[in-house]
Structure 1
Amino acid sequence: MKYGFDNNKYLKMQSEHIRERIAMFGDKLYLEFGGKLFDDYHASRVLPGFEPDSKFKMLRQLKDHAEIVVVISASSIESNKIRQDSGLTYGEEVIRLIQTFRQNGFLSDSVVITQYAGQPSADQFRNRLNNLSIHSYLHYIIDGYPDNIDLIVSDEGYGRNEYVETTRPLVVVTAPGPGSGKMATCLSQLYHEHKRGIQAGYAKFETFPIWNLPLKHPVNIAYEAATADLNDVNMIDPFHLEAYHTTTVNYNRDVEIFPVLHAIFEEILGECPYKSPTDMGVNMAGNCIIDDAACREAANQEIIRRYYSCLCDLKRGNSSREILYKLQLLMKQGGLTIKDRPVVTAAMQREEETGHPAVAIELPDGQIVTGKTTDLLGA
């Protein structure tokens, strides 16, 4: 495998940058941690050299100054929402995460249940957490969120939420999956900290899209392919462009919510510390790419892999035509066809020769091995 990413440089640079952001605010930093803390195989596929647990290793360098809060929405508990990669419910994943954090020496004993409205299943989950000596806190639904700023930043809005007791200068806020309420939890905590006279700030850690790579760089297109089911779209950050006359990349949800965040920050802190969504981020991954061509090729392979993965999900009834069409469009944007993935051509040729299903795998040295279907074994 040809390496395109310097993992050691990343571990050092990323942890230093987070320390700088903590110092910027004074007493405390709430760091919204998007994506996977460990087992990030997407990142390791598109950035050859990035280790799947790199982000976790990076946080280990800060563990004496950090604690981890896990967020889950009451609606996810009620619906028994399941993570497709692990097969665990979001509730089970919360407990697994906390156990893993503790086993690795992190302080992690708080769970926030967001969008709480008296759901019996959420109450049962809270009792289970209590039996495991895990503290839990309730955050409530706020009418008109996120647009009704006067209500949100008031005693009837964030003020109604239970305050999460934390003791470390870095509070990492993570979740078992998207839509759990990480950002709202961070902002609610800022409101309560400000009421208590504590100087606290907020920052966001997202590996993708990589803000200092071109919009149509294969690594960023691969992120769109990975989130095709969420309808995430990469775009130029218009606020950053206006403030600094510099082009950076962000994604639509952060750009769309920024005016609201800006207003909420002004209500809580008196002024917004950030001029753009890009400013909120702390991601240093783009600075650790050492071979752009290797990363481009790896990302192109990932885009095609996602296309075939969607085809499989479609046959199983776990995807939709709309997602498939989006992946086809992303392949066109990258100038890709299925022939750009060598194993595809090899497997199809083998199938044509034998008249039966076939498989192909590419070894680290580039050699391709094929497998055919026989009476004994099927490909």
Structure 2
Amino acid sequence: MKKLGFDNEKYLQMQSEQIQNRISQFDNKLYLEFGGKLFDDFHASRVLPGFAPDSKLKMLLKLKDEAEIVIVINANDIEKSKMRGDLGITYDLDVLRLMDAFHDVGLYVGSVVLAQYAGQPAADTFKNRLEKLGTKVYLHYPIEGYPSNIQYIVSDDGYGKNEYIETSRPLVVITAPGPGSGKMATCLSQLYHEYKRGVKAGYAKFETFPVWNLPLNHPVNLAYEAATADLNDVNMIDPFHLEAYGETTVNYNRDVEIFPVLNAMFEKIVGKSPYHSPTDMGVNMAGNCIIDDEACCEASRQEIIRRYYNARCDQRQGRGEKAAVYKIELLMKKAGVSVESRAVVGAANQRAELTGEPAAAIELSDGTVVTGKTTSLLGASASVLLNALKVLGGINHEIHLLPPIIIEPIQRLKTTHLGNHNPRLHTDEVLIALSINAATNPAAELALKQLSKLSGCEAHSSVILSQVDENIFRRLGVNLTCEPKYESKKMYHK
């Protein structure tokens, strides 16, 4: 079993108390910029074993009577159909997903902000869609000279042109589908408008990573750099905090670089900046809740390797740049790891070499590595999934969970009627067939009961998998990596 390295309950308590303290420092109005993912924070759960993916959401639920949520999306991201790589959906669709998720748990979503709005047609369409659903939408515009021309930015022609967001609760959480959405600018724009209205509102930043009170080159912080390699983020010592307090803390380059500008904006908006450093702005208690440092270090080293494979596959598929790969290679050296440190990589590639066909491997929570090969009936990912369920259920390897008499009619349906050239079953098709077979086959029923045990397991494929297979592994909570190559030399890959 993987070791726990993080006390989630302690985190929920400390984090909610810290935010309440920050609200009280201002005029009972705090704009809290939420960096990273407000829920489904699987990166945090991977590098801090014990951190629940919905921890931040649970923390907010402790404050739900005081909090409302504003979701910010960059209008340019809507126009470009920017995707969330972890979920495979566009940012605008993710806004709708986020709204549903918040409503389902009883959190109040006050409005949506379209940042950098300049009449983009797709943004207009999305705005109309939201308004028809009864959601308030506010427009924030590009500001010439942002962020350096402070005199202009903090004026009626700068922030003053943005539509004022009507809010009704003391804690306003500003969140977004992804980075670069305009959360900070939205917070500062609101501060400008609030002070014009006589409300002495405050601003704080909730970024889980980098963890400010861990060393600069701690694997948890290196894993954050690997996760943001495409953004060219770099962790660094906060020089402003060091000068103000004589204390060494960690922040990242964008916050450190923008801090003098932010400070000047605060001074122009409120008369005096409440902060001496970027670290001061944060309310992150994660570093205080690590209970097993080595467990978190090892988990983070594995995350860096996963990010390396993701970056290489993104490059192979035309979604990423070489620079991100090179950066993560350097981070792997800093962390003292290589691809050989990931057990499933060698197992999958060795099986592929022996069979001459794509292969896959899954490492179970007890360290057992299970492999699967490509057959005439099943793809490698489907094979390894069934083999893993057999091991978890103590089912004899020779037993067919899906005998050919069940698989072959599905293959005929795919090729004869649905025009599919590949007759082999994908993971989703295997799971549906297994569910049907479980009605009469006790072994299949036992195998199905093992599915939840796959969450948190590691997997590797010797080739890039189809989107269908990737999605199934993601939904099962399996941490998947792939070699950056395709099974065939075709130009079009589904």
Aligning the two structures, in what range does the TM-score lie when normalised by the shorter sequence?
over 0.9
**Structure 1 position 211 matched with structure 2 position 221:** no
Q: CA deviation at 1:352?
A: 4.3
| Partner amino acid, structure 1, of 2:65 | D
CA distance in 2, matches of 1:108, 1:158: 23
Could you tell me which residue of structure 2 aligns to residue 116 of structure 1? 117
CA distance in 1, matches of 2:353, 2:86: 33
| Partner amino acid, structure 2, of 1:112 | V
Deviations 1:97-128 (A, max 9, x none): 12221221111131111112233332332222
| Partner amino acid, structure 1, of 2:269 | I
| Partner amino acid, structure 1, of 2:232 | N
**Structure 1 position 225 matched with structure 2 position 222:** no
Could you tell me which residue of structure 2 aligns to residue 358 of structure 1? 359
CA distance in 2, matches of 1:99, 1:375: 42
* Mapped contact 1:311–1:324 kept (Cα < 8 A): yes
CA distance in 1, matches of 2:163, 2:339: 52
Could you tell me which residue of structure 2 aligns to residue 274 of structure 1? 275
Deviations 1:57-90 (A, max 9, x none): 1111111000000111221222222222223222
TM-score (norm 1): 0.96
Could you tell me which residue of structure 2 aligns to residue 191 of structure 1? 192
Could you tell me which residue of structure 1 aligns to residue 45 of structure 2? 44
Q: 2:284 is paired with a residue of what secondary structure?
A: coil
Q: 1:145 is paired with a residue of what secondary structure?
A: coil
CA distance in 1, matches of 2:313, 2:78: 28
Could you tell me which residue of structure 2 aligns to residue 19 of structure 1? 20
Could you tell me which residue of structure 1 aligns to residue 316 of structure 2? 315
Q: CA deviation at 1:170?
A: 0.2
| Partner amino acid, structure 2, of 1:280 | M
Q: CA deviation at 1:265?
A: 0.2
Q: CA deviation at 1:91?
A: 1.8
| Partner amino acid, structure 1, of 2:44 | A
Change in CA separation of 1:308 and 1:81 when aligned onto 2, cut-off 3 Å: closer
CA distance in 2, matches of 1:120, 1:349: 50
* Mapped contact 2:206–2:283 kept (Cα < 8 A): yes
Change in CA separation of 1:103 and 1:374 when aligned onto 2, cut-off 3 Å: closer
Deviations 1:244-297 (A, max 9, x none): 111111111001100000000000111110110011010100100000000000
**Structure 1 position 141 matched with structure 2 position 160:** no
CA distance in 2, matches of 1:282, 1:319: 32
* Mapped contact 2:75–2:120 kept (Cα < 8 A): yes
CA distance in 1, matches of 2:127, 2:347: 52
Q: CA deviation at 1:355?
A: 4.3
**More off after superposition, 351-360 vs 10-19:** 351-360
| Partner amino acid, structure 1, of 2:297 | R
**More off after superposition, 6-15 vs 72-81:** 72-81
CA distance in 1, matches of 2:359, 2:125: 49
| Partner amino acid, structure 2, of 1:328 | E
**Structure 1 position 264 matched with structure 2 position 261:** no
CA RMSD of superposed structures (Å) = 1.4
What pairs up with 1:58-207 in 2 under 5 angstroms? 58-207=59-208
Q: CA deviation at 1:24?
A: 1.0
Q: 1:278 is paired with a residue of what secondary structure?
A: helix
Q: 1:369 is paired with a residue of what secondary structure?
A: strand
Q: CA deviation at 1:142?
A: 1.1
Could you tell me which residue of structure 2 aligns to residue 245 of structure 1? 246
In the alignment of these two chains, the number of paired residues is 379
**More off after superposition, 57-66 vs 322-331:** 322-331
CA distance in 2, matches of 1:309, 1:106: 33
Q: CA deviation at 1:323?
A: 1.5
CA distance in 2, matches of 1:62, 1:173: 15
* Mapped contact 2:344–2:363 kept (Cα < 8 A): yes
Q: CA deviation at 1:193?
A: 0.7
**More off after superposition, 271-280 vs 362-371:** 362-371
CA distance in 2, matches of 1:120, 1:350: 50
| Partner amino acid, structure 1, of 2:108 | L
Change in CA separation of 1:378 and 1:88 when aligned onto 2, cut-off 3 Å: closer
By relative contact order (CA 8 Å, sep 6+), the higher-ranking structure is 1
* Higher Cα Rg, which structure: 2
**More off after superposition, 109-118 vs 188-197:** 109-118
Could you tell me which residue of structure 1 aligns to residue 468 of structure 2? none
TM-score (norm 2): 0.74
Q: 1:171 is paired with a residue of what secondary structure?
A: strand
CA distance in 2, matches of 1:350, 1:198: 65
* Mapped contact 1:109–1:133 kept (Cα < 8 A): no
Q: CA deviation at 1:356?
A: 4.0
CA distance in 2, matches of 1:89, 1:376: 34
| Partner amino acid, structure 2, of 1:143 | E
Change in CA separation of 1:353 and 1:45 when aligned onto 2, cut-off 3 Å: same
Q: CA deviation at 1:318?
A: 2.2
Change in CA separation of 1:345 and 1:87 when aligned onto 2, cut-off 3 Å: closer
Change in CA separation of 1:121 and 1:293 when aligned onto 2, cut-off 3 Å: same
**More off after superposition, 122-131 vs 140-149:** 122-131
**Structure 1 position 8 matched with structure 2 position 9:** yes
Which stretches in structure 2 are left out of the alignment for 5+ residues? 381-494
**More off after superposition, 296-305 vs 341-350:** 341-350
CA distance in 2, matches of 1:272, 1:29: 15
Deviations 1:181-220 (A, max 9, x none): 1100100100111111112100001111111111101111
Q: CA deviation at 1:353?
A: 4.1
Q: 2:16 is paired with a residue of what secondary structure?
A: helix
Change in CA separation of 1:314 and 1:140 when aligned onto 2, cut-off 3 Å: closer
